[in-house]
Amino acid sequence: MNAVAATLRQSWVITLRDLKHWQREPWTPVFGIAFSVMLVLVFGYLLGGAIALPGGGDYLAYLMPGIFALSMMFGIEATMSAIANDSKKGVTDRFRSLPISGAAVPLGRAGADLVNSAAELAVLMVGGLLIGWSASGSVAATVLGVVLLLWLRFAMLVLGVFLGLTFRGEGGVTAVQVLVWPLGFLSNVLVAPESMPGWLAVLAQWNPISATAAACRELFGNPTGITGGVLADHALLLAALWPAVLTLVFLPLTARAYRRLSR
């Protein structure tokens, strides 16, 4: 068996293990999904009525792709705490003492988390359709949108594995759970950056999840709320590039953190 096939086989074993966790303790993924649904309800119905888009348009249609992107980003917490938990319990050290590829454990985790996120997206999309959101783009465009969302999730996965390996204590996970809120909200997912003060709008536009959300709005034929700026012209490109940049930066760092785990 060549090295790549062996790595994939090992990763698959890890993926099955992670999926079995959810099968046995389904509350973790169920609450994860319920949380995103709650965000839709809170912003769609509770707060949404007071939010007006600069270019006009239906707020719910604007919101849904934003929530999709936000839930991909929030997935970082699940990845990070699973990885931190494993390395705290010594399971990771046992994996490291086995004659398996160093990439197998993170890849296996990635497989399971992508399955989870795909399920979450499916629930959110069906839920969105039920409450009046619609994707009016072509099938190909819609599929591309979903791929870009999962691509963002993959980058968040890599980042989550890195953070989980690096900051193993409870404090690390809690810090990330707190930080994802301002970092997630400082974007175009909930409100149009045009409504923010200038400097904040710039930051929000350059947030990686803004690119994915803007690209999805285009692809799903939803109002973008954009009247100008870099996202107006290059949303698709940025949605493809941002996760690539994050992955390129954090994949080597993750590999290094994994090798050096018990130093």
Partner 1 sequence: MSLPPLVARGLRKRYGDTHALDGFDLEIESGAVHALLGPNGAGKSTAVNTFATLTRCDEGEVRVAGRDVRKEPAAVRSSVGLVGQHAALDEILFGRENLVMFGRLYGLSKSAASERADELLGTFGLLDAADRKVSTYSGGMRRRLDIAAGLIRRPALLFLDEPTTGLDPRARNEVWQTVRQIVDAGTTVLLTTQYLDEADQLADRITVMDAGRVVAEGSPQQLKRRLGGDRVLVTAPAHADLDRLAAALGGTADAELRQVTVEAGQDGGAAALTAVVRALDAAGLEVDDILLRRPTLDEVFLHLTARDAAPTGPAPTGPAPTGPAPTGPAPTDTASTEGALR
From the list 17, 41, 131, 169, which residue makes contact with partner 1 (rule: CB under 8 A)? Answer: 17
| Residue 30 binds partner 1 (CB under 8 A) | no
The answer to whether 95 contacts partner 1 (rule: CB under 8 A) is yes
Does 99 bind partner 1 (CB under 8 A)? Our answer is yes
* Part of the chain binding partner 1 (CB under 8 A), chosen from 15-23, 50-58, 65-73, 148-156: 15-23
Task: Name residues contacting partner 1, limited to 144-183 (CB under 8 A).
Answer: none
Of 96, 183, 234, 251, which one interacts with partner 1 (CB under 8 A)?
96
The piece of 5-13, 67-75, 181-189, 216-224 that touches partner 1 (CB under 8 A) is 5-13
| DSSP, residue by residue, the chain | --HHHHHHHHHHHHHHHHHHHHHHSTHHHHHHHHHHHHHHHIIIIIIGGG---TT---HHHHHHHHHHHHHHHHHHHHHHHHHHHHHHHTHHHHHHHSSS-TTHHHHHHHHHHHHHHHHHHHHHHHHHHHTT----S-HHHHHHHHHHHHHHHHHHHHHHHHHHHH--SHHHHHHHHHHHHHHHHSSSSSS-GGGS-HHHHHHHHTSHHHHHHHHHHHHHT------SSHHHHHHHHHHHHHHHHHHHHHHHHHHHHHHTTT-
Provide the minimum distance between the beta carbon of 262 and partner 1 in the complex, in angstroms, as a whole number.
Answer: 5
**Whose Cβ is closer to partner 1: residue 111's or residue 145's?**
111
Binding site for partner 1 (CB under 8 A): 6, 10, 13-14, 16-17, 20-21, 24-25, 89-91, 93-100, 104, 261-263
